[in-house]
């Protein structure tokens, strides 16, 4: 039997958050800096990036679509469970959404992080924020759908996507694949250990399906905070491939499940600047976004929860 109790269960999609428009960029960055004033320079730099991708982030819209599709998939599988969004650093904030779920009569929350790899600053923080609010409501029970980074549907969807884009390259030498995930502060190293391990597992499983020899793991979108961050950075990886004489590369941003600033700016604009790119024909796959196989896989996992 599934743990979903019809009419009483709500799905809570958890994520980092993003600004919907230019006016929200400042408050969003301030929230990431935990309310401490971020240097004006950082806000200006971030505003320029959001401006460069069209003046807002598509993250929330993409996430709303994922939620609607997940609700539809669950309904097709015979379960009615409304899907809600809760964000750590922007509206709709996790605490407000939990309050709304309670007002709607939800008694059981199933939390799903909109990112595959566990870290303290992402999934850990989203779950802690959920727990904090849920503690105010003794009648509410929360379960989390975790560790879907190694599930066959996720691996298959990525292998298919990569295969499709590889076919677009001119025939010739094997194209090196660069798998990317968001970088993390790696001090203390324990904080990033689970994240790195899950990233490696996902990549290995995709590679097992592809029978591809040239592949690399790299990190992207390192933050402003000083100190050690997980590497190599994707820029360093491109330099290395260039030095080895590679003329092509394909980036698969497996650490993200939707396209937003970190893929649309950091990969599609920043990395393509000629000084960084050299002579490499660099392409990337999109993120999974509302890929039907991906959404259906998540729905089936929810129903299989015990």
Q: Interacting stretch for ligand HT9, rule CB under 6 A, among 10-18, 65-73, 92-100, 169-177?
A: 10-18
CB of 17 to ligand HT9, least distance (A): 7
Q: Is 129 in the site for ligand HT9 (CB under 6 A)?
A: no
How far apart are alpha carbons 18 and 34 in whole angstroms?
A: 15
Q: Is 12 in the site for ligand HT9 (CB under 6 A)?
A: no
* φ, ψ for residue 168, nearest 5 deg: -80, -15
Q: Is 32 in the site for ligand HT9 (CB under 6 A)?
A: yes
Q: Is 16 in the site for ligand HT9 (CB under 6 A)?
A: yes
Between the alpha carbon of residue 91 and those of residues 24, 96, 97, 265, 269, the distances in Å are 10, 9, 9, 22, 27
Which member of 9, 24, 66, 119 binds ligand HT9 (CB under 6 A)? 119
Q: Which is it for the CA torsion 76, 79, 80, 82, positive or negative?
A: negative
Q: Is 29 in the site for ligand HT9 (CB under 6 A)?
A: yes
CB of 122 to ligand HT9, least distance (A): 4
Which member of 223, 231, 232, 278 binds ligand HT9 (CB under 6 A)? 223
Considering only CA atoms, which of 41, 46, 14 is closest in space to residue 29? 46
Q: Give the containing element (helix H, strand E) for 192.
A: helix 190-210
How far apart are alpha carbons 134 and 137 in whole angstroms?
A: 5
Q: Which two tokens stand for residue 178?
A: 């660069």
CB of 62 to ligand HT9, least distance (A): 9
31 is in an annotated binding site: no
Q: Is 46 in the site for ligand HT9 (CB under 6 A)?
A: yes
Q: Is 5 in the site for ligand HT9 (CB under 6 A)?
A: no
List the interface residues with ligand HT9, window 228-287 (CB under 6 A). Answer: 260-262
List the interface residues with ligand HT9, window 158-187 (CB under 6 A). Answer: 182, 184-185
3-state secondary structure of 135: coil
Place of tokens 């924020």: 129
Considering only CA atoms, which of 244, 246, 232, 233 is closest in space to residue 279? 246
Q: Is 220 in the site for ligand HT9 (CB under 6 A)?
A: no
Which member of 36, 103, 213, 225 binds ligand HT9 (CB under 6 A)? 225
Whether cis (ω within 30° of 0) applies to the bond prior to 293 is no
118 is in an annotated binding site: no
Between the alpha carbon of residue 302 and those of residues 75, 80, 140, 242, the distances in Å are 12, 12, 18, 43
Q: Using the minimum distance from each CB to ligand HT9, give the nearer residue, 27 or 278.
A: 27
Q: Which two tokens stand for residue 59?
A: 């993250």
Q: Is 57 in the site for ligand HT9 (CB under 6 A)?
A: yes
57 is in an annotated binding site: yes
* φ, ψ for residue 116, nearest 5 deg: -80, -25
Q: Using the minimum distance from each CB to ligand HT9, give the nearer residue, 123 or 248.
A: 123
Tell me the binding residues for Fe(2+).
182, 262
Binding site for ligand HT9 (CB under 6 A): 15-16, 18-19, 29, 32, 46, 57, 59, 114-115, 119, 121-122, 182, 184-185, 223-225, 260-262
């Amino acid at each position: 039997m599934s743990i979903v109790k019809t009419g009483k269960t709500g799905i809570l999609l958890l994520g980092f958050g993003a600004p919907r428009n230019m006016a929200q960029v400042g408050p969003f960055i301030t929230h990431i800096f935990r309310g401490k004033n971020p240097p004006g320079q950082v806000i200006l730099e971030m505003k320029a990036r959001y401006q460069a991708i069209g003046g807002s982030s598509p993250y929330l819209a993409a996430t709303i679509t994922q939620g609607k599709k997940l609700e539809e998939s669950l309904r097709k599988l015979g379960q009615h469970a409304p899907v809600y969004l809760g964000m750590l650093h922007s509206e709709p904030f996790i605490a407000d959404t939990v309050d709304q779920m309670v007002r709607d009569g939800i008694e059981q929350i199933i939390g799903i992080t909109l990112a595959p790899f566990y870290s303290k600053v992402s999934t850990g923080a989203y779950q802690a924020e959920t727990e904090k609010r849920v503690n105010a409501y003794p009648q509410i029970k929360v379960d989390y759908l975790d560790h879907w980074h190694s599930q066959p549907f996720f691996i298959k969807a990525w292998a298919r996507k990569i295969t499709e884009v590889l076919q677009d390259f001119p025939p010739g030498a094997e194209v090196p694949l660069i798998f990317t995930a968001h970088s993390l502060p790696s001090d203390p190293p324990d904080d990033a250990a689970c994240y790195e391990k899950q990233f490696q597992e996902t990549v290995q499983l995709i590679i097992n399906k592809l029978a591809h020899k040239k592949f690399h793991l790299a990190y992207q979108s390192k933050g402003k905070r000083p100190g050690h961050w997980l590497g190599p950075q994707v820029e360093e990886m491109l330099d290395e491939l260039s030095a080895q004489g590679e003329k092509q590369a394909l980036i698969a941003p497996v650490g993200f499940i939707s396209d937003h600033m970190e893929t649309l700016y950091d990969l599609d604009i920043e990395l393509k600047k000629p000084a960084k790119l050299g002579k490499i024909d660099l392409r990337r796959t999109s993120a999974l976004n509302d890929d039907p196989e991906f959404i259906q896989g998540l729905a089936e996992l929810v129903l299989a929860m015990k």
